[in-house]
Amino acid sequence: MIQRDIAYRVRAIESLSPTLKRIVLESATGDPLPVGAAGAHIALTLKCGDRILRNSYSLIAPSDGTGRYELIVRRTDPSRGGSHFVHDELTVGAVLAGYVPHNLFPSFSHARKHLLIGGGVGITPLLAHLAALRREGARVELHQLAAAEEVALFTQLLAPWAGDDVQVHGGREGLDLEALLSRQPLGTHVYVCGPAALMDRVEGMAVALGWPDGRIHRESFGASGGEPFTVRLARSGGEVRVGPDESMLQALENAGVAAPSLCRGGACGECLTRVLEGEPEHRDHYLTAEEKASGQFVMPCVSRAHSDMLVLDL
């Protein structure tokens, strides 16, 4: 049977700044942790008061036999509760339920060069990629965009790989994206993680400059926003409003609905849910084109709705 659930113990917590904490996890049972390749994330179950949240966090270092996973969590305001729990209540020794790592953001070994672009805490999976690619001797360049007050912090995090091809851009200095993408050799793959606006900008600019789709990669787990809509639960009779900045899955979990999930990125099929009425907006990589066209199924971890209301078999 494929292992999916893991009990993690918090081995260390380090305050990097007033809003960023580095968390080190180990197995709570003593069993070895599965490999967590660069780009992978884990989902953790967090008890916030009387609510249960499942949040996904990228591993900041490849974990192949180290027996631990490292994350960085930013305290956000407003928060669904998860980041405040991690910052205010989580202590060393605490045990958290979670899932095994999933990798929806891998690097491509055939790339001639890897261009990594991060924004804020979106640097987390790129730190793992940078470490792995440098270890492999691959050609890699990283640009991190940061608020002026966080330039020093990100520069310090990137210090082990310091050089001309690792740069932090802060405050008003910005980054000439068009020039950066234009000067890359043919065969380069670009990987971006950060605020949706940054990922949209990088993707849009790369497409406009003629980069093939298969060479543009963005981190895709977690909430991806859109127009709000309402989910009606056919079996229980309830209704859940999905806000513009949360996923359907998050809204269901916040409302106490026991919705299944695993990868939380539209890849594994675990959250497959039957649609009884309404028009889904498919954003997953799991359903076939025919299944999407039928409108009979939706993956709530990433997909949304074109209609104001979706009636689900939940």
Bridging pattern class, strands 239-242 and 280-281:
unpaired
With residue 55 as reference, give the H or E element that holds it.
Answer: strand 51-58
For residues 282-294, one letter each, b for 16 or more C-beta atoms within 10 angstroms of the residue's C-beta and e for the rest, the string is bbbebbeeeebee
Amino acid at 261: S
Site for ligand FES in 264-283 (CB under 6 A): 264, 266-271
* Given 168, 301, 305, 314, the residue binding ligand FES (CB under 6 A): 301
Nearer to ligand FES, 119 or 222 (CB): 222
Nearer to ligand FES, 270 or 291 (CB): 270
Residue 71, strand partner residues: 23
* Given 299, 310, 312, 314, the residue binding ligand FES (CB under 6 A): 299
What x/- string results for residues 89 through 108 when contact with ligand FES is judged by CB under 6 A?
A: --------------------
Number of residues that bind ligand FES (CB under 6 A): 14
Nearer to ligand FES, 20 or 262 (CB): 262
The CB-of-255 to ligand FES minimum distance in angstroms stands at 17
Q: Answer for the pair 9, 68: CB distance below 8 angstroms, yes or no.
A: no
Bridging pattern class, strands 113-119 and 280-281:
unpaired
The CB-of-107 to ligand FES minimum distance in angstroms stands at 21
Nearer to ligand FES, 98 or 266 (CB): 266
Phi, psi (5° rounding) for residue 297?
Answer: -135, 155
Residue 44 in the binding site for ligand FES (CB under 6 A): no
Nearer to ligand FES, 203 or 270 (CB): 270
- Outline where the chain has alpha helix (H): 82-88, 123-136, 151-157, 177-182, 196-208, 248-254, 289-294
- Is the four-CA dihedral 166, 196, 152, 84 of positive or negative sign? negative
Question: Which strands, in side-by-side order, build the sheet including 309-312?
Answer: 239-242, 229-233, 309-312, 273-277, 297-298
What x/- string results for residues 227 through 266 when contact with ligand FES is judged by CB under 6 A?
A: ----------------------------------xxxx-x
The CB-of-297 to ligand FES minimum distance in angstroms stands at 11
Residues near ligand FES, by CB under 6 A:
261-264, 266-271, 284, 286, 299, 301
